A and B are shown apart, each in its own frame.
Chain A
Amino acid sequence: MIFLQLFITFSKIGIFNFGGGYAMLSLIQDEVVNKHHWLTVAEFTDIVAVSQSTPGPIGINAATYTGYTAVINAGYPQWAAALSAVMTSLSIMWLPFILMISISKFLLKHKESQDIKNIFSVLRPTIVGLLLAAALMLMNVENFGSPTQSTFVFIVSLTIFIFAFIGTRLFKIHPILMILLCGLAGLLIY
């Protein structure tokens, strides 16, 4: 029963995923491509590409796409596949959701505890480090182009980067507006 298998597999992926996003992709690939053969390697690569150019968390993107494609490949009609896509997306969410609600309950109840306050006083500087590391890791060829292979793309990317940074930091431009502006710039320049 493919629907039940999708539900179980994606519930598992949801709860065993720490760190989100890209960390999740290898886990999904292992289950979906290697173990269950729901998708080919090429179809999986497509998901990654599509995820990068569509909104939302990559885990949800992958779940939706797999839920749809696997059921179509198994010979079901389109409406069943659409239903499966929604079901698979919810499968990845429900266990972490329950966990998060329990943590929220706990935190809101013990907000005034001195131990909790101490713990978070050190965790806050740490999250700044995490964000910094994430930004550094994203300064790569996929996002900026290579300076040797295509100097033009690299310089344009660097300009957009600096422009976006100054725009949000100094002029407090809304990030959504910034994304739209940079998308428009890409369309016009390239």
Chain B
Amino acid sequence: MGIYWDLFATFSKIGSFTLGGGYAMVPVMEKEIVDKKGWLTREEFMDILVVAQSTPGLFAIDMASHIGYKFRGTWGGIIGALGVAGPSILAILLIAMFFHAFKGNIYVEKIFMGVRPCVVALILAPCFTMAKSAKIRKQTLWIPLVCAALIYIMGVSPIWCILAAGIGGFLYGRFASK
């Protein structure tokens, strides 16, 4: 029971505090799962990020199911996924049912004007901790930079970057590093 509850509680916490979804979950997950709980090493965390990014479905659900699965098989996965989705379902349901005024609320808007730039900073910050774990050196610094430029400037889908990098890594390992 202990680990199930721990999985559920941790992922509920992650689900409750990620506003805007997607990448906003990364810094909170990194802190909770890697730094606090030690459920994954930073390398493992990044590996799952890549997998979650290149498979269909929601990022957060993918992450939660993988981590849950790693500890307690399929049930662990289900508990993790429900944990991360639960607060969100509840919040929207309550808003849809009772609080039609929520979206136009001036105080809510004020709070979010403060939170939005903060979330951008929170997404930027893990780039540096992860760069260390990814063992980015002078020779490999071009990989994240080219990848970010392709996506940001040229509008290339991240999927293509992941695909190219995966094939590149496979071929490099097979032929070039011998």
Residues of chain A having any CB pair with chain B under 8 Å: 14-22, 24, 46, 49-61, 64-65, 68-69, 78, 81-82, 85-86, 89, 92-93, 95-97, 99-101, 103-105, 107-108, 114-115, 117-139, 142-145, 153, 156-158, 160-165, 168-169, 174-176, 178-179, 181-187, 189-190
Which secondary structure characterizes the binding site on chain B? helix
Contact A136 B152 (CB under 8 A): yes
Q: How many angstroms between the C-alpha atoms of A110 and B95 in the bound complex? A: 44
Partner of A183, one of B43, B57, B112, B126: B112
Partner of B169, one of A14, A123, A145, A176: A123
Question: What is the minimal beta-carbon distance from A103 to any residue of chain B, in angstroms?
Answer: 6
Question: What is the minimal beta-carbon distance from B135 to any residue of chain A, in angstroms?
Answer: 7
Contact A61 B21 (CB under 8 A): yes
Contact A92 B58 (CB under 8 A): yes
Partner of A56, one of B15, B123, B159, B172: B15
Q: Provide 17 A-B residue pairs closer than 8 Å at the C-beta atoms, listed in order of the A residue.
A: A19-B53, A21-B59, A49-B103, A57-B21, A57-B84, A97-B81, A101-B69, A108-B70, A127-B50, A127-B53, A129-B147, A130-B148, A131-B23, A134-B123, A175-B31, A179-B118, A187-B111
Contact B57 A65 (CB under 8 A): no
Instruction: Kindly list 5 other residue pairs between chains A and B, CB separation below 8 angstroms, not including A17-B56, A68-B97, A126-B162.
Output: A54-B91, A105-B69, A126-B147, A157-B113, A168-B121
Contact B115 A183 (CB under 8 A): yes
Residues of chain B having any CB pair with chain A under 8 Å: 13, 15-23, 25-28, 31, 43, 46-47, 49-62, 65-66, 69-70, 74, 77-78, 81, 84-85, 87-89, 91-93, 95-97, 102-103, 107-128, 130-131, 133-136, 140, 143-148, 151-152, 157-159, 161-162, 165-166, 168-170, 172-174, 177
